[in-house]
């Protein structure tokens, strides 16, 4: 049978010809000359993109990496999702500043998964798309001996979590690495919040909190209609269906639960036995027909969404969720809210507070911050402000070696940690940073010992929270 491949860009083809890399088969271990033919660079990794239905699949390729072949193999059914993905990659290739040079070799066909596993032209699978299929994609890929870099969420319900556990077991047996894309670990204010919260002279000890007054709170506000890479984001219709995308409580909250583990218990394993799920709830975002059309480009709701319409003809989209849980004795609350569109000048926002016995470290991203995340430190006991300030100044001085230019600015009740713009690279750039981190793991043929157990436990928390919230009644849809 003839291959149904298409070459995306002439410029990328010319680059490959000039580098003497003409093979369309597996490229691991091939030697590729540079454009002058004077040196060779070993490309260790070749990407395969599987059924890219989410813009995150393209953001992994926003920047090139010296270890990754510029030839990427895409396996997907023909249609809207694939075409939108290829447009984004072409946008990276043709942008005026620092253009990429990806060459997308595309297989279009309904047997795309079987075809990828049979051919295996690469050694790393990137999976970001319809979440109903994602966990099965992950399991099939690792069973075939392929490394997997997957967008969150890797599963959206309890059944998927059980399959995900099997996938991690298979990955261990096959000697491949399965990893999810946790971009929020690379946001500068989060990095600094973690550093200060783990400085006992500044922060003291993490308070245990209570179910009604948690020690750690993380809230995220997102928007259905928004711009990505300066273009309006077009949402596929299935994105509004919770049976395909998953509910908000198992989607964006994945990041928030991850940050609770990562910041509160750095380099520590968190087991399911360390978790007590206390309460959870979910509620819908109302999406009108006009809003759906603007976000999706379609004239009306498709038939598979009409069962979720209210009497006024609007979609009841269960994009919002909140959970409170106890982890290793610390009470934490995470919540996600989806609005249709951000106010003028605003975007997605993040709020995070960590309460210590000496200080409270908070990230706010509201109107007062011009919708940019900013970091604040306040003394837990106002009378101890001078002592906290002295230690905080020492901590900021010590952090200069990594983050030169950060400084303290007095506020009415404490201090703001000001951050130079050079460290504010933005959410979209964090995908390349995650990919670079993952490649380092592949180079070392292992991840930190805590990563896999914490991923398993993280998805246990989100899927059990969904199960608990659904007991309160209601059905619905979702987003990111």
Residue 95: its pLDDT value, please? 96
Say if residue 91 is in the same domain as residue 220. Answer: no
Domain boundary among 109, 129, 149: 129
Q: Is residue 2 part of a domain?
A: no
Say if residue 70 is in the same domain as residue 216. Answer: no
Q: Is residue 125 part of a domain?
A: yes
Q: Considering its fold, how many domains does the chain have in total?
A: 2
Domain containing residue 92: CATH number: 3.40.50.720
Residue 32: its pLDDT value, please? 30
Q: Is residue 451 part of a domain?
A: yes
Q: Is residue 167 part of a domain?
A: no
Q: Is residue 68 part of a domain?
A: yes
Residue 473: its pLDDT value, please? 59
pTM: 0.88
Residue 19: its pLDDT value, please? 39
Say if residue 322 is in the same domain as residue 447. Answer: yes
Residue 47: its pLDDT value, please? 98
Residue 42: its pLDDT value, please? 60
The answer to whether 282 and 469 have CB atoms below 8 angstroms apart is yes
Say if residue 261 is in the same domain as residue 191. Answer: yes
Domain boundary among 91, 114, 129: 129
Is residue 36 exposed (0-12), middle (13-18) or buried (19+ Cβ within 10 Å)? exposed
Say if residue 273 is in the same domain as residue 355. Answer: yes
Alpha-carbon radius of gyration of the chain: 23
Q: Is residue 142 part of a domain?
A: no
Say if residue 199 is in the same domain as residue 262. Answer: yes
Say if residue 380 is in the same domain as residue 238. Answer: yes
Q: Is residue 91 part of a domain?
A: yes
Say if residue 81 is in the same domain as residue 211. Answer: no
Domain boundary among 84, 114, 129: 129
Say if residue 352 is in the same domain as residue 268. Answer: yes
Say if residue 29 is in the same domain as residue 124. Answer: yes
pLDDT tens, the chain, 480 aa long:
434 444 444 344 334 333 333 333 333 333 333 333 332 246 899 999 999 999 999 999 999 999 999 999 999 999 999 999 999 999 999 999 999 999 999 999 999 999 999 999 999 999 999 999 999 999 999 999 999 999 999 999 999 999 999 999 999 999 999 999 999 999 999 999 999 999 999 999 999 999 999 999 999 999 999 887 677 889 999 999 999 999 999 999 999 999 999 999 999 999 999 999 999 999 999 999 999 999 999 999 999 999 999 999 999 999 999 999 999 999 999 999 999 998 777 778 899 999 999 999 999 998 899 889 999 999 999 999 999 999 999 999 999 999 999 999 999 999 999 999 999 988 888 999 999 999 999 999 999 999 999 999 999 999 999 999 998 754 443 334
Q: Give, rounded to a whole angstrom, the gap between the first and last alpha carbons of the chain.
A: 38
Residue 38: its pLDDT value, please? 30
Domain containing residue 266: CATH number: 3.30.360.10
Q: For residues 230 and 348, give the distance between their C-alpha atoms in angstroms, rounded to a whole number.
A: 15
Residue 322: its pLDDT value, please? 97
Residue 45: its pLDDT value, please? 97
Q: Is residue 154 part of a domain?
A: no
Structural domain of 98: 10-129
Say if residue 82 is in the same domain as residue 193. Answer: no
Say if residue 371 is in the same domain as residue 452. Answer: yes
């Amino acid at each position: 049978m003839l291959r149904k491949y298409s070459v995306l860009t002439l410029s990328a083809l010319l680059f490959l010809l000039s580098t003497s890399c003409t093979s369309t088969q597996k490229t691991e271990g091939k030697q590729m000359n540079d454009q002058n033919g004077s040196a060779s660079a070993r490309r260790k990794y070749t990407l395969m993109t599987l059924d890219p239905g989410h813009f995150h699949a393209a953001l992994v390729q926003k920047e090139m990496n010296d270890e990754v072949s510029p030839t990427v193999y895409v396996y997907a059914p023909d249609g809207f999702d694939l075409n939108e993905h290829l447009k984004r990659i072409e946008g990276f290739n043709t942008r005026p500043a620092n253009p990429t040079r990806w060459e997308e070799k595309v297989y279009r066909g309904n047997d795309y998964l079987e075809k990828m596993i049979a051919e295996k032209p690469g050694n790393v699978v990137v999976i970001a798309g319809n979440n109903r299929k994602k966990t099965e994609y992950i399991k099939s890929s690792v069973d075939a001996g392929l490394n997997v870099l997957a967008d969150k969420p890797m599963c959206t319900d309890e059944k998927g979590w059980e399959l995900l556990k099997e996938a991690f077991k298979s990955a261990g047996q096959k000697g491949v690495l399965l990893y999810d894309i946790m971009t929020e670990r690379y946001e500068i204010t989060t990095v600094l919040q973690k550093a200060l919260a783990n400085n006992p002279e500044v922060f003291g000890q993490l308070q245990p909190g209570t179910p009604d007054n948690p020690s750690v709170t993380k809230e995220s506000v997102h928007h259905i209609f928004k711009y990505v890479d300066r273009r309006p984001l077009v949402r596929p219709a299935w994105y509004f269906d919770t049976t395909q995308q998953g509910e908000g409580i198992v989607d964006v909250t994945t990041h928030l639960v991850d940050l609770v583990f990562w910041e509160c218990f750095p380099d520590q394993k968190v087991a399911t036995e360390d978790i007590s799920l206390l309460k959870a709830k979910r509620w819908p975002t109302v999406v009108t027909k006009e809003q759906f059309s603007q976000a999706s480009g379609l004239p009306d709701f498709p038939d598979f969404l009409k069962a979720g319409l209210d009497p006024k003809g609007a979609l009841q989209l269960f994009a919002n969720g909140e959970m409170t849980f106890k982890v290793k004795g610390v009470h934490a609350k995470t919540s996600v809210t989806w609005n249709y569109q951000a106010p003028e000048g605003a975007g997605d926002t993040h709020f995070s507070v960590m309460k210590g016995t000496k200080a409270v470290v908070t990230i706010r991203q509201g109107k007062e911050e011009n919708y940019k995340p900013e970091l604040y430190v306040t003394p837990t006991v106002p009378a101890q402000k001078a002592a906290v300030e002295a230690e905080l100044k020492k901590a900021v001085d010590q952090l200069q070696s990594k983050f030169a230019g950060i400084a303290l600015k007095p506020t009415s009740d404490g201090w703001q940690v000001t951050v130079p713009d050079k460290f504010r690279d933005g959410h979209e750039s964090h995908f390349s940073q995650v990919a670079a981190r993952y490649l380092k793991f592949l180079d070392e043929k292992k991840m930190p010992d805590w990563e896999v157990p914490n991923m398993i436990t993280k998805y246990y928390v989100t899927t059990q929270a969904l199960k608990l919230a659904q007991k309160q009644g209601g059905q619905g849809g979702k987003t990111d």
